[in-house]
A and B are shown apart, each in its own frame.
Chain A
Amino acid sequence: MPARKHAKKIYEHFNKIVADPVLQIKRLKKTGSFRIIGWVPTDVPEELIHAAGALPIGIVALERQAVSLSTPHMQVWSCSLMRCALGMALEGSFDLLNGLIIPVICDTTRMVTGIWKQVKPYAFMDNFLLPKQVDRPSAKDYLIGEMGRLKARLEQFMDRTITASELCASIRLYNHNRSVMRKLFSLHTEHPELLSNRNMYNIIKSSMLMPKELHTNMIAELWRELEKKVDDNKSAGKKCHVRLLLSGKVWEPPVIMDIFDGLDIVSAGDDFCTGYRYIANDVPETGEPLRALAERQFNRLPIAAFAGKSGDRAKSIIKMVEETHAHGVLFVHLKYCEPENFDYPMLRDDLSAYGIPNCRIETEIDSLPGENYFEQIKAFIDSIGGVV
């Protein structure tokens, strides 16, 4: 089979998983008798769920029609990400889940667990309580303790002990998956004509919706195909792309990726919970595994949920812009996402003071396809000189 055609088939596989998460969960259930535990973005240690013998599934592929189903239970002025997740649960999309972990990263996630437990309880539900200050020693001690608490609850639910060697094996599995995705991401930023924004981000998202072993194998297959194409493309003239760094909570709605692809814009990186940030760093493979999981948490790209000097987001974004040679930054903010709203004015001013062009678009999960995003993004790239 010609390489491009084969790659296309692999992309289609990933895309199908993301396009129909409910069908994906059904498919997974059919493949074995394991339990599936869902997690809401972000920063839930999936390795712990995996080591407990359950399959972690991210609540990351969304069906925009479900947003309104949550209206009797959640105010319409809460973020559409959580409203959609709850709406999908109410619709029965997650009925095959055995459990759900919700991290408290903002006021909406803090409150939604109580509502969820009331209107759609699962056998196992947990609030993962991440520390919000990340600079002082107390945060690390606490997070290790919180990881231990979650581990104990999972052990009780799964009726088994998670051994250190099992957890280390899960860590290695997840690290490997992240590392192969980073390799792909690097290829995407250099050769977006081979690996588009939509395909790259669907690969990341699909990794949250399927067994990592399988996902890693599929990436290996894809990599072999793409390598051949890279060699073929070397002689051909490369199309110029605008390189943008993205910042926000999630890459939603996905139509924005298509707009990028249509306008020859390449995402050079991001701090999205469902994007590059998910794969950016690994868990240390030495030392006590719970401590190692906590270590990774403190080394992750800073986001609005966490406060502190080490979480200085402006510095982090500026560094990423420099490292990725991005031409500008596009903030993709969900309406009613308070942490992002609070961070934005100073981030914008810091970037502008540094001479980095930037622009903000406000989105909702249930935005109409295309909405005004095309015009806004087009105007932004025109303002920074268009395709270079």
Chain B
Amino acid sequence: MVVSPSFKTTSLFKQMMAEYHERGVAAKEKGIPVAWVTATFPVEIIYAAGLFPYYPENFGARIAAKKVADRISAAAEEKGYFPDLCAYARCGIGNAFSVERPAGEVLKPDVVFCSNAQCGSLQKWFEAAGRYYQVPFFLIDTPLIENTPTTLIKRYIVEQLHELLDFLELYTGNTFNFSRLAEVISLSNEACRLWNEILNMAALKPAPFGYFDACYHLAPIVAWRGTKWAVDYYKELKKELEERLDNNVYVISDERYKLYFDHIPVWPRLRWFSNLLMERKALAVASQYTHSWAWRFDLNRPLESLVKNYTEVFINRGYEYRLQQKIILMKEFKVDGFILFSNRSCKPKALGLYDKYQIISDRTGLPGVIFEADMSDERYFDEEYIKKLFAEFFDRLEHNSN
């Protein structure tokens, strides 16, 4: 099985995720504010300010993986939110209105922090959440970096971080603790380093770990980055992977093809896709998505470094840069082909892929496939169409390797 439930760390993951939620509930009871944050928000500042960060995007992925996104989304749709919106947002909003709790509770926010580096949907969703829960909404506005980062944009975001610190001091009534920030950033660095090393193991052939495994084990780097939890978790995972290598345990022992997968997975079809690939001895090994959290922060210039990492994240970059990054990953991981996912829920990831498909093919000579679906909502999943596309793709892959 490609998504490996046999990992010992899988049970650790489940246990820690449950504890994480309990910690959030306990924090709320103790009067520690629960702060909603987005995946590319400088969460280190929120930890340093003593708040409990919570990631509704993870909730969206969990709902999707449990194949109930359509049911929770329906609660939002009944209120007038449309099925064309990002499914994470629909599920996050739907949870507020739904009486069903198939994937647990969302922790209600006391304050909402958002960075729009990833997309405008998060800005709108979190803004709506701020209004619905009647709590403050703070946006770190992150203009697109089309080519190289400009001083203007860097200065704008540093200025916004200072505004964030002012806001937090007023909100918590405490002076911001820069020493604590340094500790949190060190922990982030350590978790990101470990995560990167784990991802790099997919470059081995055969590999003990692939992209779909990375999607499974991604939550800690998103949600616990900046804590000892994330560091401990990835130490365990890395140790286990090293043991697997020592014992010659691989995802596909007779691995034939390595593939690049762009970008996020179709969560309710994670296993379906991994099996589809495995039937042809193919392993997805790299993606801009899983590599998004491979950050490095400079402790000597903490705010500037947070700005650099969180602003220059690939999703906030221009067309050509992102294209080049995809090709760089394809080369680093020596892939034999590429898969592009035109995700209805995510325009910043999907728009442009049609032309990029052709450009990547031209520049690399690799066979590829592009498919339409939604990362969460199976109403947009056409199994027969995807099977047919992939059968053709595998034929080209095989032809190419011969």
Binding site for B on A (CB under 8 A): 72-75, 77-78, 104, 106-108, 110-115, 117-119, 127, 129, 131-133, 136-139, 141-142, 145-146, 149, 304-305, 307-308, 335-336, 338-339, 341-346, 348
* In the complex, B384 has a CB within 8 A of chain A: no
> Which listed residue (A73, A104, A112) contacts B143, Cβ 8 A?
A104
With A107-B119, A113-B146, A132-B116: A342-B80 Cβ-Cβ less than 8 Å:
no
In the complex, besides A115-B319, A341-B84, 4 extra interface pairs with C-beta distance below 8 angstroms are A118-B352, A131-B143, A142-B155, A346-B131
* In the complex, B382 has a CB within 8 A of chain A: no
- Sorted nearest first, the 8 A-B pairs with minimum C-beta distance are A114-B319, A342-B124, A345-B80, A111-B351, A142-B156, A129-B143, A107-B347, A138-B159
Contact yes or no, A342 B116, CB < 8 A: no
> Which listed residue (A118, A345, A346) contacts B319, Cβ 8 A?
A118
* In the complex, B292 has a CB within 8 A of chain A: no
For residue A13, give the distance in angstroms from its CB to the closest CB of chain B: 38
Contact yes or no, A131 B121, CB < 8 A: no
Task: Give Cα distance in the complex from A117 to B320, angstroms.
Answer: 10
Residues on A with C-beta less than 8 A from B116 are 132
* In the complex, B123 has a CB within 8 A of chain A: yes
Binding site for A on B (CB under 8 A): 79-82, 84-86, 89, 116, 119-121, 123-125, 127-128, 131-132, 137, 139, 141, 143-144, 146, 150, 152-153, 155-156, 159-160, 163, 318-320, 342, 344, 347-348, 350-352, 354-355, 359, 372
Contact yes or no, A108 B351, CB < 8 A: yes
Task: Give Cα distance in the complex from A273 to B116, angstroms.
Answer: 22
**A128 — nearest CB in chain B belongs to which residue?**
B143
Contact yes or no, B84 A336, CB < 8 A: yes
Q: List 14 A-B contacts (CB under 8 A).
A: A73-B354, A104-B143, A110-B144, A113-B146, A118-B352, A127-B146, A133-B141, A137-B163, A138-B159, A138-B160, A305-B120, A308-B139, A341-B85, A343-B124
Task: Give Cα distance in the complex from A129 to B145, angstroms.
Answer: 9
Contact yes or no, A110 B120, CB < 8 A: yes
With A114-B319, A307-B127: A77-B84 Cβ-Cβ less than 8 Å:
yes
> Which listed residue (B82, B84, B348, B359) contacts A111, Cβ 8 A?
B348
Residues on A with C-beta less than 8 A from B86 are 338
With A111-B352, A115-B351, A307-B123: A129-B159 Cβ-Cβ less than 8 Å:
no
Residues on A with C-beta less than 8 A from B344 are 75, 77
Please report the number of residue pairs spanning A and B whose Cβ atoms sit closer than 8 angstroms.
135
For residue B33, give the distance in angstroms from its CB to the closest CB of chain A: 20
**A117 — nearest CB in chain B belongs to which residue?**
B319
Task: Give Cα distance in the complex from A28 to B383, angstroms.
Answer: 52
Task: Give Cα distance in the complex from A177 to B150, angstroms.
Answer: 35
Task: Give Cα distance in the complex from A149 to B151, angstroms.
Answer: 11
Contact yes or no, A338 B84, CB < 8 A: yes
With A75-B350, A107-B348, A111-B352: A338-B141 Cβ-Cβ less than 8 Å:
no
Contact yes or no, B139 A307, CB < 8 A: yes
Residues on A with C-beta less than 8 A from B143 are 104, 129, 131, 142, 146
Task: Give Cα distance in the complex from A341 to B85, angstroms.
Answer: 8
Residues on A with C-beta less than 8 A from B82 are 341
> Which listed residue (B79, B152, B318, B342) contacts A142, Cβ 8 A?
B152
Residues on B with C-beta less than 8 A from A342 are 81, 85, 89, 121, 124-125, 127-128
Task: Give Cα distance in the complex from A136 to B156, angstroms.
Answer: 11
**B151 — nearest CB in chain A belongs to which residue?**
A145
Task: Give Cα distance in the complex from A129 to B319, angstroms.
Answer: 15
Contact yes or no, A149 B150, CB < 8 A: yes
Most chain B CB inside 10 Å of its own CB: which residue of A75, A108, A305: A75
Contact yes or no, B355 A73, CB < 8 A: yes
Task: Give Cα distance in the complex from A12 to B54, angstroms.
Answer: 58
For residue A297, give the distance in angstroms from its CB to the closest CB of chain B: 14
For residue A159, give the distance in angstroms from its CB to the closest CB of chain B: 22
Residues on A with C-beta less than 8 A from B89 are 342
Task: Give Cα distance in the complex from A137 to B141, angstroms.
Answer: 13
Residues on A with C-beta less than 8 A from B146 are 113, 127
Contact yes or no, B347 A141, CB < 8 A: no
Task: Give Cα distance in the complex from A345 to B127, angstroms.
Answer: 13
Contact yes or no, B347 A108, CB < 8 A: yes
Contact yes or no, B319 A132, CB < 8 A: no
Residues on B with C-beta less than 8 A from A129 are 143-144, 153
**A129 — nearest CB in chain B belongs to which residue?**
B143
Residues on A with C-beta less than 8 A from B352 are 111, 114-115, 118
Contact yes or no, A335 B124, CB < 8 A: no
Task: Give Cα distance in the complex from A107 to B350, angstroms.
Answer: 10
Task: Give Cα distance in the complex from A305 to B116, angstroms.
Answer: 12
Task: Give Cα distance in the complex from A335 to B86, angstroms.
Answer: 14
With A113-B146, A131-B143, A341-B85: A107-B120 Cβ-Cβ less than 8 Å:
yes
> Which listed residue (A75, A142, A335) contacts B351, Cβ 8 A?
A75
Task: Give Cα distance in the complex from A113 to B348, angstroms.
Answer: 12
Contact yes or no, A113 B128, CB < 8 A: no
Task: Give Cα distance in the complex from A118 to B351, angstroms.
Answer: 13
